[in-house]
């Protein structure tokens, strides 16, 4: 846990980080502690597919924080259940008496082309990512509303923009962006802010082994599929992501709410909010003949679908 120069930015704040046993979550927990926060290190200890459990994973990180002079406790509940989400939040209250920061990071990955995807592949990704964000926010939000303060940082993904072989993961991750925007509106009037990141980092979810598996899957359908992972992303460190996330928890970003950021390596960026790129209006509405006549040119323009065979 590196020492920070000057006064810690988050002295005596209480933070929860889900999926904090490894990768980005661990880096976030360590930096929060270095900035003076008391941390609940949540991690069920599953494998990359979201299976199994290892309760020692979370405790190792909590012990490392304590050994460096910080305050931390471990929690091994699953974010995928309402009961687990409630216990994670209660752990912070029981251990430290309050809650100020919630970072939703827990996740897993199951890369499969859509025609090979099973119901369990779909349900498990929606549960751990999208529902896993809801369960913790649901039980943190009454605390934040009552104290009229609090910060939530959610972990979305550039996969939500479209990622070959990741339909369930992409759907869950882009759902998190919509969730973030609405939670920001629900809680903003109480002084609570909620933002999201799309991180790039070399973690066990997207390491070289997963990248190779994705490339092999691409080979079955040809080059029209988008590359699974940029090789440069495999060099980016989780600590590069953690810096922006922790910054979003400080007073420096007190006026930032409902926004989505990309972060990784040497890059930080703010995503624009979606809006129509072209709009047409017609008195009386639209019919197929009119769309045939002017839609292809004036609405669609010269757009070509790069993922269709040519």
Region of poorest pLDDT, from 29-38, 65-74, 216-225: 216-225
Q: Which one from 169, 190, 271, 281 is the annotated catalytic residue?
A: 169
Within 8 A by CB and 6+ apart from 188, the residues are 194, 257, 258
Burial 216-229 (b: 16+ CB within 10 A, else e): ebbeeeeeebeebb
Q: What is the pLDDT of residues 214-258, one digit of tens each?
A: 454 445 444 444 444 444 444 578 999 999 999 999 999 999 999
8 A C-beta contact, residue 310 and residue 223: no
Tokens of 190: 């109480």
Task: Tell me if residue 169 is catalytic.
Answer: yes
Long-range contacts of 28-32 (CB under 8 A, 24+ apart): 28/103, 28/105, 28/241, 28/242, 28/245, 28/246, 29/61, 29/65, 29/72, 30/1, 30/61, 30/64, 30/65, 30/242, 31/2, 31/239, 31/242, 31/243, 31/246, 32/101, 32/103, 32/246, 32/249
Q: How many other C-beta atoms are found inside a 10 Å radius of the C-beta of residue 112?
A: 17
Question: Tokens 């004036």 identify what position?
Answer: 298
Give me the mean pLDDT over the 78-96 stretch.
98
So what's the pLDDT on residue 224? 42
- For 260, phi and psi rounded to 5 degrees? -125, 135
- For 113, phi and psi rounded to 5 degrees? -65, 145
Which among 48, 100, 43, 92 has a CA at the least distance from the CA of 72? 92
191 Ramachandran zone, left/alpha/beta (phi>0; psi -120 to 50): left
Q: What is the pLDDT of residues 3-21, one digit of tens each?
A: 456 789 999 999 999 999 9
Give me the mean pLDDT over the 141-166 stretch.
96
Tokens of 171: 């759907």
Q: What whole-number distance in Å separates Cα of residue 283 and Cα of residue 131?
A: 42
Task: Identify the structural domains of the chain with CATH numbers, from first to last.
Answer: 14-270 (3.40.50.720)
With a cut of 60, say whether residue 93 has pLDDT above it. yes
Tokens of 29: 């927990």
So what's the pLDDT on residue 249? 98
Query: Could you tell me the pTM of the whole model?
Result: 0.88
């Amino acid at each position: 846990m590196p020492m920070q120069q000057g006064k810690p930015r988050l002295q005596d704040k209480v933070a929860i980080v889900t999926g904090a046993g490894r990768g980005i979550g661990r880096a976030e927990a360590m930096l929060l502690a270095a900035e003076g926060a008391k941390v609940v290190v949540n991690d069920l200890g599953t494998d990359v597919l979201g299976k199994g459990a290892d309760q020692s994973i979370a405790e190792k990180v909590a012990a490392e924080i304590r050994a460096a002079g910080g305050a931390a406790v471990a929690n091994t509940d699953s974010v995928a259940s309402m009961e687990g989400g409630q216990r994670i939040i209660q752990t912070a209250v029981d251990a430290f008496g309050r809650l100020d920061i919630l970072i939703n990071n827990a996740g897993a990955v199951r890369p499969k082309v859509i025609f090979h995807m099973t119901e369990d592949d779909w349900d498990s990704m929606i549960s751990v990512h999208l529902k896993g964000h809801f369960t913790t926010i649901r039980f943190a939000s009454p605390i934040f509303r009552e104290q009229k303060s609090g910060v939530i940082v959610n972990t979305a993904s550039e996969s939500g923009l479209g990622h070959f072989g990741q339909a369930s993961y992409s759907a869950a991750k882009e759902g998190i962006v919509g969730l973030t925007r609405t939670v920001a509106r629900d809680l903003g009037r109480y002084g609570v802010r909620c933002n999201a990141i799309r991180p790039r980092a070399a973690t066990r979810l997207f390491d070289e082994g997963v990248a190779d598996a994705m490339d092999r899957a691409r080979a079955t359908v040809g080059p029209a599929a988008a590359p699974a992972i940029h090789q440069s992303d495999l060099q980016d460190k989780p600590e590069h992501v953690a810096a922006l996330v922790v910054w979003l928890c400080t007073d420096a970003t007190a006026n930032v709410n409902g926004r989505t950021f990309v972060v990784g390596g040497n890059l930080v960026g703010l995503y624009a909010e979606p809006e129509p790129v072209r709009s047409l209006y017609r008195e009386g509405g639209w019919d197929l003949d009119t769309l045939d006549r002017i839609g292809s040119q004036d609405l669609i323009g010269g757009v070509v679908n790069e993922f269709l065979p040519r």
